[in-house]
Structure 1
Amino acid sequence: MRKLVVLKLDGDLHLGVQVTLEIGEEGKRPTTEMTGKLPSNLDMATAIAQWESTYRNLWKFTRIKAKKIIYDGSISQRRKECDTKASEVREHLNNWLLSESFRPVREKWLKHLMPDEEVRVLIRTHCLQLKKLPWHLWDLIDRDYLKAEVVLSIPESEPVTAALQTSTFRNKIRILAILGDSQGIDVEQDRQLLEKLPNATTTFLVEPQYSDINDKLWKQPWNILFFAGHSKSEAETSCIYINETDKLTIDELRYALRNAVANGLQLAIFNSCDGLGLARELQDLQIPQIIVMREPVPDQVAQTFLKHFLEVFSSGQSIYAAVRTARQRLKGIEKEYPGASWLPVISEHPAVVPITWLKSRWFFNTRRLESLLLLSLLVTAGVLGIRHQGGLQTWELLSYDQLMRSRPQEKQDSRLLIVTITEDDLYLPEQKQRSGSLSNLALARLLDKLAQLKPRTIGLDIYRSEPVQPNQAYLTTRWQTDDNLFAICKVSDRTQNYPGVPSPKGVPPERQGFSDIIPDSDHVLRRHLLAMQPADPTSPCTAHYALNAQLAFHYLKKEGISAQYTPQGDLQLGNVVVKRLGSRSVSKGKSHIGGYQQADTRGYQILLNYRSYQGSPLEIAPKVTLTDVLKGKVNPDQVKDRIVLIGTTAQSFRDYIPTPYMSEQGSSQEIPGVILQAQMVSQLVSAVMDRRPLIRVLPVWGEVLWISGWSVVGGAFGYAVSQTLALMVLQTFPIGDRSGVYLVLAGGCVLVILYVLCLILFYQGIWVPLVPSTLVLVVTGGTVAIYLSSQPSLQQLISTK
Structure 2
Amino acid sequence: MSKLVVFSFLGGDLNQGFPVVTAQLWCQNQFVPVKLTGSLPPAPELSELYRRWQLLYAAVHQRLDRNNQRIKVHSQDITNISVNDFDEVCQQLQANINAWLKFESFQNIERQLRTLLSRHDEIRVIIETNIVLLHRLPWHLWNFFEDYPKAELALSNHEYESPQLLQKSPTGKVKILAILGNRVGIDIEKDAYLLQGLTDAKTTFLIEPTRQTLDEYLWNQDWDILFFAGHSNSLADGEIGEICINQTESLTISQLKNGLKAAIRRGLKLAIFNSCDGIGLGRNLADLNIPQMIVMREGVPDLIAQEFLKNFLTAFADSKPFYLAVREARERLQGLENEFPCASWLPVICQNPTTVPTTWQELRGNFDNTKFVGKISTKGKIATSKSKFWNVLLSTFLVAVSTVGLRYLGVFEKIELQTFDRMLRLGLKEDPDPRLIIVEITEKDIQSRQDMTKGLKSISDSTLAKLLNKLQKYQPRVVGLDIYRDFADPPNKSNLIQLPTELNKENVVVVCKSRDSKYDLQGVKPPKDVPVERQGFTDAIKDPDGIVRRQILMMAQEPSSTCTTPYSLSLQLITRYLSYENIKPKFNEDYVQFGSKVFKRLKPSRSGAYQQGVDLGGNQILVNYRNTDYQRVSLDDVLSNKFDRKSFKDKVVIVGVTANTVSDTWSTPYSTAQQDYQEISGVFIQAQMVSQVLSAVLDQRPILWVLPYWGDILWICGWSVAGSLIIWWVRSLLDKRCAIFVTVVILYGVCAIALLKQGLWLPFIPSAFAVVAGGVVIIFIPSRRQLSTTLQSLVE
TM-score, length of structure 1 as denominator length: 0.61
Alignment partners' CA distance in 1, 2:305 and 2:420 = 74
Alignment partners' CA distance in 1, 2:672 and 2:709 = 34
Counterpart check, 1:155 vs 2:141: yes
Alignment partners' CA distance in 1, 2:242 and 2:525 = 108
Counterpart check, 1:425 vs 2:419: no
Cα gap change, 1:408 to 1:189, in 2 (>3 Å): farther
2:772 partner SS? helix
Which among 543, 548, 552 is matched to residue 525 of structure 1?
548
- Contact 1:440/1:466, CA 8 A, preserved across alignment: no
- C-alpha displacement of 1:553: 1.0
Give the AA of the match of 1:491: S
Matches within 5 A, 1:132-531: 155=141, 161-163=155-157, 171=165, 177-181=178-182, 206-208=208-210, 225-228=226-229, 242-244=245-247, 268-269=271-272, 289-290=294-295, 318=322, 348-349=347-348, 355-357=357-359, 358=362, 362=366, 365-429=385-449, 431=451, 433=453, 435-471=456-492, 475=498, 477-478=500-501, 481-496=504-519, 498-531=521-554
- C-alpha displacement of 1:723: 3.6
Which among 660, 673, 690 is matched to residue 681 of structure 1?
690
Q: Provide the aligned C-alpha RMSD in A.
A: 5.7
Give the AA of the match of 1:631: S
2:678 partner SS? strand
2:666 partner SS? strand
State the partner residue of 1:128.
none
Deviates more, 1:366-375 or 1:692-701: 366-375
Alignment partners' CA distance in 2, 1:710 and 1:661 = 29
Which among 660, 681, 688 is matched to residue 672 of structure 1?
681
Alignment partners' CA distance in 1, 2:364 and 2:484 = 72
Give the AA of the match of 1:524: I
2:667 partner SS? strand
State the partner residue of 1:639.
648
Alignment partners' CA distance in 1, 2:744 and 2:698 = 36
Counterpart check, 1:656 vs 2:661: no
1:609 partner SS? coil
1:454 partner SS? coil
Give the AA of the match of 1:503: P
- C-alpha displacement of 1:635: 1.9
Give the AA of the match of 1:471: N
If asked which structure has higher relative contact order (CA below 8 Å, sep 6+), I would say 1
Deviations 1:434-467 (A, max 9, x none): 7511211101111110111111111111111442
Alignment partners' CA distance in 2, 1:306 and 1:502 = 94
Q: How many positions carry a matched residue from both structures?
A: 597
State the partner residue of 1:600.
615
- Contact 1:531/1:546, CA 8 A, preserved across alignment: yes
Alignment partners' CA distance in 2, 1:702 and 1:534 = 32
Give the AA of the match of 1:781: G
- Contact 1:574/1:688, CA 8 A, preserved across alignment: yes
Cα gap change, 1:668 to 1:772, in 2 (>3 Å): farther
Counterpart check, 1:623 vs 2:623: no
Cα gap change, 1:246 to 1:524, in 2 (>3 Å): closer
Give the AA of the match of 2:141: P
Cα gap change, 1:253 to 1:157, in 2 (>3 Å): farther
Cα gap change, 1:555 to 1:789, in 2 (>3 Å): same
Alignment partners' CA distance in 2, 1:685 and 1:359 = 64
State the partner residue of 1:135.
none
Deviates more, 1:381-390 or 1:784-793: 784-793
Deviations 1:76-131 (A, max 9, x none): xxxxxxxxxxxxxxxxxxxxxxxxxxxxxxxxxxxxxxxxx999999xxxxxxxxx
Alignment partners' CA distance in 2, 1:528 and 1:3 = 60
- Contact 1:551/1:681, CA 8 A, preserved across alignment: yes
- C-alpha displacement of 1:546: 0.8
Counterpart check, 1:779 vs 2:781: no
Alignment partners' CA distance in 2, 1:253 and 1:500 = 92
Cα gap change, 1:413 to 1:3, in 2 (>3 Å): closer
1:653 partner SS? coil
State the partner residue of 2:568.
546
Matches within 5 A, 1:44-123: none
- Contact 1:591/1:599, CA 8 A, preserved across alignment: no
Cα gap change, 1:360 to 1:768, in 2 (>3 Å): farther
Higher CA-based Rg: 1
- Contact 2:601/2:619, CA 8 A, preserved across alignment: yes
- C-alpha displacement of 1:497: 5.0
State the partner residue of 1:768.
762
Alignment partners' CA distance in 2, 1:494 and 1:3 = 72
Q: What stretches of structure 1 of length at least 5 have no aligned partner?
A: 5-25, 29-48, 58-62, 67-116, 123-151, 217-221, 233-237, 329-343, 584-589, 614-618, 727-739, 797-801
Give the AA of the match of 1:226: F
Q: What stretches of structure 2 of length at least 5 have no aligned partner?
A: 5-26, 29-33, 35-60, 72-119, 126-137, 145-152, 168-174, 234-240, 287-291, 333-342, 368-381, 791-796
- Contact 1:457/1:554, CA 8 A, preserved across alignment: yes
Cα gap change, 1:433 to 1:491, in 2 (>3 Å): closer
Deviations 1:239-293 (A, max 9, x none): 9863245689xxx999999xx99x999855356xxx7x76899999999635999
Which among 627, 633, 640 is matched to residue 612 of structure 1?
627
Which among 578, 592, 596 is matched to residue 556 of structure 1?
578
- Contact 1:758/1:767, CA 8 A, preserved across alignment: yes
Which among 573, 592, 595 is matched to residue 571 of structure 1?
592
2:620 partner SS? strand
Cα gap change, 1:578 to 1:206, in 2 (>3 Å): farther
- Contact 2:124/2:323, CA 8 A, preserved across alignment: no
Give the AA of the match of 2:748: Y
Give the AA of the match of 2:749: V
- Contact 1:153/1:350, CA 8 A, preserved across alignment: no
Give the AA of the match of 1:385: G
- Contact 1:181/1:242, CA 8 A, preserved across alignment: yes
Give the AA of the match of 1:355: P
Alignment partners' CA distance in 2, 1:457 and 1:704 = 43
- Contact 1:426/1:437, CA 8 A, preserved across alignment: yes
- C-alpha displacement of 1:180: 1.7
